[in-house]
Every structure is written in C-alpha cells, then in structure tokens.
Amino acid sequence: MRKVILISGILLFSSLLFAKSIFFWIEDVPWDDGKALTIKANVSADTVYLQKALDDGKWQTLYAANGTNFSYTDSGLNPDVKYQYRLLVPRPAFNDTIFFAAVAQPEEQWFYLHKLSYLLILLAVSIAIIYYVQNARKGKDYYIRRISGLDCIEDSIGRATEKGKPILFVPGIMDLDDIQTISSLTILSHLAHKAAEYDTEIIVPCRFSMVLSAAREVVKEAYIKAGKPDAYNQDRIFYLTDDQFGYVAGIDGIMVREQPAANFFLGSFYAESLILAETGFSTGAIQTAGTAQASQLPFFVVTCDYTLIGEELFAASAYLSRDPQQLGSLKGHDFGKLLVIILIVAGVITEMAGWQWFKAFFEGAQ
Amino acid sequence: MSGFMATFGLWLSVFFTLSIFSFLYKDNPFYKLSEQIFVGLSAAYWLVYLYYSVMVPNLFNKLFTDFKGNLILLIPTALGLLMLLRLIPKTQWLSRYPIAIMIGTSAGINMVRYAKTDLLGQISATMINPFASDNVITVIGNILLIVGTICGVYFFYFSKKQEGIRAVPSKLGIWFLMISFGASFGYTVMARISLLIGRLEFLLKDWLHIIK
Amino acid sequence: MKYKVPLIFAFVCGILVVISEFIPHRPFNMLITTLQDWFMIISGFAILLGQISLFQSNIKKIKNKNPDWPFYLAGLISFAIMLVFGLLWGTQEYAGIFGQGDKIQAVVGMKPFDYLFNNAFMPLSATMFSLLAFFIASAAYRAFIIRSFESNLLMITAVIVMLGRTSFGGMLTSWLPEGLKFLHLPNLSDFIMEFPNSAAQRAILISAALGIIGSSLRIILGIERSYLGGEK
Amino acid sequence: MSVNKNTQTERRIIYLVLLIAVALPLIFPIGWKTEVSNYTKMAWDLVENTPDSSVVVFSFDYDPSTITEIQPMAEAMLEHSFSRNQKIIAVALWPQGVQMADQAFKVALQKYPDKKYGIDYVNLGYKVAGIVAIQAMGKSMQEVFPSDQSGIKYEDIPMLKKVKTLKDVAYICSLSSGTPGIKEWVMAARDPLGTPVTGGTTAVSAPGLLPYVNSQKQLYGLLGGLKAASEYETLINKIGSATIKMDAQSIAHLLILAFILIGNIKAFVTKKRSEQ
C-alpha cells in the first residue's frame, strides 16, 4: 500500500519538473485583464476534485468533475499574486488518493484579441472621418445630395414670418449626452439665424438644464451673427420639467395657446411624439420632424409634412451648416456605409460557401 | 380615519384622471392645474429618489462612514457643485468643466457601445446563408432580410445623387422603410389603446364599480 | 482658457473610455471604474440643477404675473409638499428625518409620500399617456390618407399587423388550408415583423450607429463644441 | 376660426366613439383566444430553462405611464421566475421603477408567500446615469449598490454572496418603456459580458428592438405590448390583467381600421368633387 503512494509521489514530483505535465497544468486565459486562469487536467478517473490554496493555508474545493480533459476557469484573481492549485484524484481501486499540484500567476495582456474586428471597423470609420474632416477643413468641397426635408425649413420660416406667429423648436426630450440632441442644436443655430433675419420669434422649451444652457448659448450666438443681439429674448428659451410627460403637456399648452405657425421636432423622441405632432397638426402649423428613434418615425411620417429619417437628421445639420467638420464626418459615415454593404455581401457569400471563419471573425467569438 | 383617507385618495385620482381627459374637449383651467401639479410632483419625485437612492448611498454614506478612504470622492462632488454654479450667470463658465467631463465620457461610451452592438452586431447578424433552412418561407424571409438591410443602408447614402440605376436600391430601401413604419404603426396602435383601457378599467372598476 | 481646458477634459475622458475597451492592462480598467463612479455622482448634481432651475423659472413666472401664474404656484406648492413629505417621513423603503412616521402612517394608511404617488402622480402620469389613444384615433381618421405608393405600402402593412396582433385577426383567417397557412394573419404579421421590419430597422440602426460614432468622435477630438455653447 | 371649429367637433366625436368602443367590451367581455408568438415563447424558454436557484436580475425601467402594458408582464415574469425557484435581484434605472417593482412583487408574493426577502429576492433600488450604471455593475455590483433599498449592506445579503459582477447572473430581464432600457442592457451587459438579456417593452418600442433578436441572440426573445403580456399569461396559465383587456383591444383595433377606411373614402370623395 505504501509503495503505491511512494510511486505516485515520485510521479508527482517528476511532473513538477517538466515544464508542462501531461496530467495537470494551468494556462493563463489569453488576451484578458489578468484576472483569470484555466486549470486543465487529463486523468482517467470518474471524479476529481480541484482545490485552491487560501492565504490561511487551508484548501478550498472549487470544482469536481470527470477527470478526462477536465477544465475549469477561475476568475476574479489578482494579476500580482501567485496562486497554488492541487488536484485530488481518489482511486477506489487502490483506496488512496494521489494529488497533483501546480502554481501559476495570471498575466495581464495589453489587448483583447477577440475584439480585433471590432477595433478594425472602429479605426476604419474613425480614420475615414478624420481624413475627410481634415480635407473639408482645408476647403475641399464635398457633394451632399439635397435632403427633401430641408426645403421645408425654408418655407416654414417664410410662412411663420407672413403670419407673424412664432416658431416652436423642440430639441428632443433627451439630455446633451444624446447625440441627436446635439445635432438638433446645430440645426437650431441655423434656424435661429434665419429667424433673427426675418425677425420671427423662436420658442425653445427644454427638458434638461444642460440642453437649456446650450440652447440659450446657440440662439444667442445666432442672433449676434445675424447682427441683432438685442432681439435675443432669453425667456423664450426656458426649462419645463424633467419628467417626460410633464414636458409634453407643457409644450401642448404652448402650441394651443401661442399657435406657432411652424413646429420643429428635432432630436430624440419617445412615446409622446404623437401628442406633439397631433396637437401641432390640429393647430394647422407646418411641421418638420427628425429623429433617429426608429420607434417614433412612423408617427412623424404620418402626421408631419416632412420627416428626417434616422441619419438624415445628422446629414441635415451637416448640409445646413456647410460646416467643414460636419460635411467631412458625413463623408466618413458614407464610407462606413459602403464598408458595411461590402462586408454584408462578403459575409453572405462566405456563409454560402461554408467558410464559417469570416463571420466568426466579425462576431468576435468570446 | 384611514378609511376616509382611502376614499379621499380615490376621489383625488378620479379628479386628476378626468381633468387630464378634459384636455380632449379643450385646454381648460382644470387641465392646466393638473399639468402644473404633475410637473411639480414629478420634479419632487426625481429629487427625493435622487437623494435617497444615489446621493446618500453612493456619496454621503461613503464620506461619513470612512472619510479618509473616500477622499477621492471629493473631486466629483466638487465638480457637481461647479455644475450648480450654472444657476448664477456670472460664474456660468465654471460649469463647463463638469459638462465637458460628462459629455466627453458619454461620447466615449456611445462610440464604443454603438460600434459593438449596433454596427458590428447587426452586420454579423446579417451574414447568413439564406438558403440554409429547409422551410421555403424562411428562405424568402432571409433573402428579404439581406436585400432589405443593404438597400436600407444605401438609402442613407448621401454622397451620390440617387438617379438612374442608383435610384433602384434607394427606392427599394424606402419601400422597406415604409413597410417597417407601417408595422411599427400597427404595433403602436395597440400600445396606445391598452393605456386607455387601463384608465377606463380604473374608472369603471375602482370608481363606478360597474365591472367587478 | 474657458474653452481649451474643458475640451481637454472631454478629450481625456473620451479617449480613456475608448482605450479601456480594448486594453485590459492595469491602469485602464481601474481608471474607467473611477470615471464611471464620478459620472454617476456628477449626473446626480445635474438633476439637482434641473430641479433648481425649474424652481427659478416658476418663481420668475409667478413674480412677473405670467397669465397662468396661479397654476405655476399650484405646481410649486405640490413640489414643496411632495418634497417635504419625502424628506420628513421618507418613502416606502427609506426612512425620513422623522423615521418611518408610524403615527402618520396609521392616519393616512401609508406614508404620505407614497399616498401622493399612488393617488396623484400615478393617475396623472398614466392618464396623460392614455390621451395618445385618442390622438392616434383622430390621426388615423384624418392624417392617414393614401397619398403615394409609399404611404399605401405603409397603410397595408399597418392593417395586416393590426389585425394580426388581435385575437379577432386570428379567427378571421383560421379557415385557411394547410398549404396557405402562411397567409394566416398572425403568421403573416409575424413574418412582416421578423424579416422586412427587422431589415429596415437594422438599416436605421446601422446608419444611426455610424452617425453616433461620427458625432462622438467629433466631440472627443474637440471639433464639435456646440455643447459648450458658442464660437468655434 | 370656423375651420378649426368643425375639426374640433369632428375630433370630439371620434374621441367619444373610441371611449364607448373601449368601455363596452370591458363591461361585457367576449373572451376571444390569443395565439402565442415565437418572440414571447423565446423569452418564456429562457426563464423556464434557467437552472434552479440561480440568481437573476429584473430591471424596472419604466414609469406609471406604461403600467397597463408592462405591469402585467412584470407580474407574470416574476411569478414564473419564482415558480422556477430563481433568486431575483430587482434594480431600477428609472426613479419610478422602484415603486413599480414593489407593486409587482406584492402581486407575485401573494402566490408565493414563502419567499423571504434577502434570500429569495432583494430590491437594490434606483441608480442614475443609465448605461454608465450598467457598465459599472459589469465591473462590480457592490460599487454601484453599496446597500439595498432598506439600508442592509450589500455583503450582508445572503443571496448576493456569489454575485460579484453581472457575469455571475443567469439572465437579465429588463422591463423598459424607453431610455435607459433594454437597448442599454443589450449594449452594456449582453455584448461585453455575454449575460443573456430578455425583456418586455411597450408595443411602441418593440419593432425597434426586434433586430436584436437574431442569430447571436443579442436579445433572448422579447415581449412587445399587452398582447405579449396576455400570451405570457397563457403560457404560465394565469388569467391576469392582460388577458381580460384583450377583447377591448381587438374591438378598438377594428374601430381604428374603420376610421382609416372612412377617412380615406371621405378624402377620395372631396378630391373627386374638387376636381369637377
């Protein structure tokens, strides 16, 4: 009986000497933040127990499973610490248990390899955008096709001036951290500039304080650029409430009371979009809407005269402002779209041909 | 006493329900009153829950229990207070620092998350072999899915005038979009109706006890 | 000075978030965690700012006798009452300054804050939303006029999906033989949702995502400054 | 003003007809049957096949304005999850979500009175900053939730012993009516961490979320609107508040279709007359 333990002990001792024992070894989980180790074993036994040495010397059993190509990933570790594991292999035939031990330290890599395709696409689109923006800044003029929704902006202001009624501009119900709100403010600056020239009042109810202050700055700039700093009335750009429905109810009240001739709903909208568009519809105002919120587009398409669909909102702010940065980045987006179309076509072809690796590369198999 | 309060509460909610519905007839003082009470209540609600759920556990508790360990939290608190300076016109420019941090961080997060889930995720989800399934309906569906996505993306291509041969994919794209808008409209009619059903059930059941 | 430093802040925070997505190594995952905690605290103060500026604008409206000033006063009073209830007796889970307020709970049946929530805030919020059903009905009647082939397409799909989404639709076409099972309204409606709708929604998601990547990049690189307000 | 007058009366008639069309089936129920769509079935499968006593997250990201659609989903899914003996962590990205969670738990606990707070379910309350809060939860739950709603420390809650980050959770079910909601959970939890996400939303947002139900299962099925809620109720054979309202729903739909038809005929006739 003792002989058996002696032999297994020597066996074990020798396995520690080889770089990688064929029975029990530890691999660092590649390409991660060094917080995980994969413990593998290949022992012909029906149940083996994996134990981990705790700092107080005791052994904590982590996992028990069949011995043949046994594998367990221990996570939540610390990259600076060495961890000691041992594998208990009870052998009922010899009624003893031999154990294998191993020590390892998780390594921190500098890159998540499975995110390579993710990084490549992000880099491709970003470099395209930066390239086009730099060129646009150097004065290169890029062509953008006319977006039909924008013609309406010019006639809306003309109509509002004829009727002597104000323009209502709703910059969406989300905060400044929503990109649609920022594009909406870019269109607001162009619109306010036009409104200042035609001496038409512009009302901008805001839902968040940051949007409020940004909108005030933007409209003030527009009035100064139009040479009418004193016509700028800060009180027409005001805060209503943080709550989605308090905000909409407030705007409804304004529409019914002040009867604006032109309504603009540009930015991020949710369920309340129909209340706005329907009440605006009933006051007979000419309405332009624009949002990248797909769930609200049907309502705007149904009840507004013009609707900027999805990315047209971002394109409109670039088209209107002719601002080199926005023009350049729009060309970058178009590059991205061509890239997307090419990738989808290539992906479909490789899938049909049965080469799974192409799609797996883009899925970034975890 | 609490029995009286319960019935008073019921009548209060009936009053508010009917005064909001009165907006359908025309804008009237009852609606305006309820509108402003709603604005006030929701503002207070946000503030109370902000204080109890966020400010106390994530900030004040940490600072009071072990001030030393959480010294670093003084920086965001200071930035937050700077944000409040926006209320005083003279010191408004100071609030630009916390706003810049907020907008910069959100821009970084948006860029990374949208690229992974909406760009990469949707591209790889469209890389399917349409003829893989045996059911002919799914095959047609998958072809529509691939063609629809490509033409839809092409519709948002702004660099070329969409005439002649290039008008075909763009036309297809707007058709797919219109089908999708029709589907969304149909879906949404149900949503709006069910909200009305909810309120009518309240009026008919809890108030008028017409339905059990 | 007033623009350069904030732009640098925005650049550093943005780049840090993007880099920490790809680099697992030590400094970045720690930095991103602290940045996220700070973000949550600052956005708490931003909400506070919103409430105070609401307070300010309402007081201004009351002071200079804006036509609806009594309603704004009612709004402020309800704001103050709800706030005081919340702070004094707390909410369902949180204890206020006076603890759980058992005496008042015995009188009112629940905490005053929750009482106002259930009997005032909830009906107001739910009813406001249900107005949409009326607006969708009148929009369907008036605005839903076939103008072009596209709006025709929109309408036919809407009718199919609306019938498919109700139990009535299922009964209408339940007599269809096995071969034509595809035309059974619920199946047809599910087909439209699963394929053409997902394709178009996917196109919108992709192009919107590209737009968002572009705008975020411009904000991080300081090209887009309108959120700071004003001159380039 | 006269044009505005007759449109006003026209609108008021439409409103009245709709009111009656919705009220009648509530008073005299008809009892039509609903068929279960595969999106609802997928969400049901995820809850059904999650192993016994695994820890799951329910996120309440909606407010009272959408309770008619989402509250029945919350009650049905909570009951189903309790029936599978899963441990439920309730969080909220909307402030009102906390009250919605309490009301949903009250209903679910009537059916399962033996579930104990802290062992079978816990409510960690509301956190601000939406997607940023989710990403922070992905790194460390304790950092975001130092204590639960009633002040018990995170580490003293028995069921949260093995839950360090969102990766240690079996699935996340987000009941949402907007932003932050299901999309943020897919973006900040499903894609980076791999934890399956399912959820329920209003019928408004459902079409926009369907592209995520794809081959990669970015979203593991989706409940969209009152019909999906009543489908889920039939799956766990419960006659809940959603099923009762389905008759009124169908009648109202038929009415809207009738409005569309009449509206178009009227427009066609007036166009014909104006051409003569």
User: Chain B: residue nearest D13 by CA?
Assistant: B25
Interface test with B, best of D66, D69, D139 (most B CBs within 10 A): D69
Q: Do B119 and A121 touch (CB under 8 A)?
A: yes
**C-alpha to C-alpha distances, A198 to A156, A195, B128, nearest whole angstrom:** 12, 5, 54
Classify residue C164 as exposed, middle or buried by CB count within 10 Å of its CB (0-12, 13-18, 19+): buried
User: Chain C: residue nearest A111 by CA?
Assistant: C23
**C-alpha to C-alpha distances, C80 to A347, B42, C74, C86, D85, nearest whole angstrom:** 59, 11, 10, 10, 43
Q: List chain C residues with CB under 8 Å of D203.
A: 165
Instruction: Give the highest mean pLDDT range of A171-185, B140-154, B160-174.
Output: B140-154
Q: What is the domain range of residue D83?
A: 54-238
Q: Do B57 and D212 touch (CB under 8 A)?
A: no
Specify the CATH number for the domain of residue D175. 3.40.50
Contact C63/A at CB under 8 A: no
D85 occurs within a structural domain: yes
Contact C54/D at CB under 8 A: no
Check residue D200 and give its pLDDT: 94
Contact yes or no for A97/A88 (Cβ under 8 A):
yes
Chains that touch C (3 or more CB pairs under 8 A): A, B, D
CA dihedral angle for residue A73, residue A75, residue A80, residue A86, rounded to 10 degrees: -40
- C87 membership: H or E segment, kind and range: helix C69-89
> What value does the mean pLDDT of chain A take?
81
Interface test with A, best of B120, B154, B190, B194 (most A CBs within 10 A): B120
**C-alpha to C-alpha distances, D49 to A16, D79, D80, nearest whole angstrom:** 43, 15, 11
D271 occurs within a structural domain: no
- The dihedrals phi and psi of A36, each to the nearest 5 degrees, come to -145, 145
Q: List chain B residues with CB under 8 Å of A122.
A: 111-112, 115
Residue D180, preceding peptide bond in cis (omega within 30° of 0): yes
Contact C162/D at CB under 8 A: yes
**In whole angstroms, what is the distance from residue D227 CA to residue C218 CA?**
43
Q: List chain B residues with CB under 8 Å of D218.
A: 117, 121, 125
**In whole angstroms, what is the distance from residue B70 CA to residue B51 CA?**
19
Check residue C232 and give its pLDDT: 32
Residue A195 tokens, joined: 């409104």
Contact yes or no for D214/B127 (Cβ under 8 A):
no
For the stretch C144-178, pLDDT in tens is 666 677 778 888 898 898 888 777 777 777 777 77
The closest alpha carbon to D143, from D163, D118, D119, D172, belongs to: D163
Lowest mean pLDDT among A262-266, A305-309, B17-21: A305-309
Q: Do A298 and C154 touch (CB under 8 A)?
A: yes
Contact C180/D at CB under 8 A: no
C149 occurs within a structural domain: yes
Cβ neighbours for C85, distance < 8 A, ≥ 6 positions apart: C111, C112, C113, C116
CA distance, residue B112 to nearest chain C CA (Å):
6
Local confidence band at A112 (pLDDT 50, 70, 90 cut-offs): confident
Local confidence band at C105 (pLDDT 50, 70, 90 cut-offs): confident
The closest alpha carbon to D60, from D148, D185, D158, D153, belongs to: D185
- The dihedrals phi and psi of A77, each to the nearest 5 degrees, come to -90, 180
- Beta-ladder partners of D172: D57, D197
By DSSP bridging, strand A48-53 and strand D223-224 are: unpaired
Pick from B23, B46, B98: which is nearest to C131 by CB? Answer: B23
Q: List chain D residues with CB under 8 Å of C128.
A: 65
Local confidence band at A89 (pLDDT 50, 70, 90 cut-offs): confident
Q: What percent of chain C has pLDDT over 70?
A: 93
CA distance, residue D169 to nearest chain B CA (Å):
20
User: Chain D: residue nearest A115 by CA?
Assistant: D192
- Could you list the pLDDT tens digit for every one of the 276 residues in chain D? 444 566 667 778 888 999 998 888 888 877 777 778 889 999 999 999 999 889 999 999 998 888 888 999 999 999 999 999 999 999 999 988 988 999 999 999 998 998 888 889 999 989 988 888 998 898 888 888 988 887 888 888 888 888 888 988 999 999 998 889 999 999 999 888 889 999 999 888 888 899 999 877 889 999 988 889 988 998 988 877 787 788 888 888 888 888 888 878 887 888 788 887
- Beta-ladder partners of A91: A96
Interface test with D, best of A117, A295, A359 (most D CBs within 10 A): A295
User: Chain C: residue nearest B180 by CA?
Assistant: C197
Residue A210 tokens, joined: 């940051």
Contact C5/A at CB under 8 A: no
- The CA angle B106-A115-C29, to the nearest 5 degrees, is 50
Check residue A309 and give its pLDDT: 83
Contact A143/B at CB under 8 A: yes
Give the number of other Cβ atoms within 10 Å of residue A301's Cβ. 23
For the stretch A312-365, pLDDT in tens is 887 887 777 777 877 888 888 899 999 999 999 999 999 888 888 888 888 776
Q: Do C23 and A110 touch (CB under 8 A)?
A: yes
**In whole angstroms, what is the distance from residue C163 CA to residue D256 CA?**
11
D274 occurs within a structural domain: no
By DSSP bridging, strand A37-41 and strand A24-28 are: antiparallel
Q: Which residue has the higher pLDDT, A337 or A59?
A: A337
D21 occurs within a structural domain: no
Give the number of other Cβ atoms within 10 Å of residue C218's Cβ. 23
For the stretch B178-198, pLDDT in tens is 999 998 888 888 888 888 998
Instruction: Give the highest mean pLDDT range of A134-138, A301-305, B148-152.
Output: B148-152
For the stretch B30-75, pLDDT in tens is 988 898 898 889 889 988 888 888 888 888 888 888 777 778 888 8
Global pTM reads 0.81
Check residue D1 and give its pLDDT: 41
The closest alpha carbon to B187, from D197, A265, D256, belongs to: D256
**C contact residues 128-157, partner A, Cβ 8 Å cutoff:** 128-129, 131-132, 135-136, 138-139, 142-144, 154
Local confidence band at C231 (pLDDT 50, 70, 90 cut-offs): very low
Q: Do B46 and A331 touch (CB under 8 A)?
A: no
- The CA angle A103-A107-A109, to the nearest 5 degrees, is 165
- The dihedrals phi and psi of A141, each to the nearest 5 degrees, come to -95, 130
Return the domain boundaries, chain B: 130-212
Contact A282/D at CB under 8 A: yes
Lowest mean pLDDT among A9-13, A108-112, A152-156, D93-97: A9-13
Pick from B5, B93, B182: which is nearest to C109 by CB? Answer: B5
Cβ neighbours for C48, distance < 8 A, ≥ 6 positions apart: B47, B50, B80, B84
Residue D261 tokens, joined: 């038809």
**In whole angstroms, what is the distance from residue A343 CA to residue A359 CA?**
10
Strands (E), chain A: 24-28, 37-41, 48-53, 59-65, 70-74, 83-91, 96-104, 167-170, 202-206, 237-239, 262-266, 286-291, 306-309
Q: List chain C residues with CB under 8 Å of A118.
A: 22
Provide the domain count of chain C: 1
Q: Do A352 and B131 touch (CB under 8 A)?
A: yes
Interface test with B, best of D7, D126, D134 (most B CBs within 10 A): D126
The length of chain D, given as a count of residues: 276
D154 occurs within a structural domain: yes
Q: Which residue has the higher pLDDT, A3 or A56?
A: A56
**In whole angstroms, what is the distance from residue D220 CA to residue B89 CA?**
49
DSSP state of D153: B
Q: What is the domain range of residue C178?
A: 144-221
CA distance, residue C137 to nearest chain D CA (Å):
6
User: Chain C: residue nearest D210 by CA?
Assistant: C198
Q: Do C6 and B39 touch (CB under 8 A)?
A: no
Q: What percent of chain A has pLDDT over 90?
A: 13
Contact D14/C at CB under 8 A: yes
Residue B64 tokens, joined: 């009071």
C160 occurs within a structural domain: yes
- Beta-ladder partners of D199: D174
Predicted confidence (pLDDT) at residue A275 exceeds the cutoff of 50: yes
**C-alpha to C-alpha distances, B109 to A311, C213, D187, nearest whole angstrom:** 19, 10, 10
CA distance, residue A188 to nearest chain C CA (Å):
11
Q: Do C92 and D259 touch (CB under 8 A)?
A: no
Q: List chain B residues with CB under 8 Å of D144.
A: 58
Q: Do A337 and B103 touch (CB under 8 A)?
A: no
Pick from A282, A293, A366: which is nearest to D7 by CB? Answer: A282
Lowest mean pLDDT among A87-91, A304-308, C225-229: C225-229
**A contact residues 276-305, partner B, Cβ 8 Å cutoff:** 294-295, 297-299, 301-302
Q: List chain B residues with CB under 8 Å of C40.
A: 54, 58
Local confidence band at A90 (pLDDT 50, 70, 90 cut-offs): confident
Check residue D264 and give its pLDDT: 80
Q: Which residue has the higher pLDDT, C25 or D98?
A: D98
C216 occurs within a structural domain: yes
Q: Do A268 and D179 touch (CB under 8 A)?
A: yes
**In whole angstroms, what is the distance from residue D100 CA to residue C118 CA?**
11
For the stretch A242-264, pLDDT in tens is 656 667 778 878 888 888 999 99
Helices D67-83 and D97-111, axial angle in degrees (round to 10)? 50
**In whole angstroms, what is the distance from residue D270 CA to residue D264 CA?**
10
The closest alpha carbon to A171, from A188, A157, A155, A154, belongs to: A188
User: Chain C: residue nearest A340 by CA?
Assistant: C206
**C-alpha to C-alpha distances, A330 to A179, A344, C217, C227, nearest whole angstrom:** 14, 21, 12, 19
Give the number of other Cβ atoms within 10 Å of residue D10's Cβ. 13
Q: Do A295 and D204 touch (CB under 8 A)?
A: yes
How many helices (H) and strands (E) are present in chain A, helices listed first?
A: 11, 13
Residue written as tokens 């520690």? A16
Q: Which residue has the higher pLDDT, C210 or C230?
A: C210
CA distance, residue C168 to nearest chain A CA (Å):
24
Q: Do A253 and B32 touch (CB under 8 A)?
A: yes
Q: List chain B residues with CB under 8 Å of C151.
A: 178
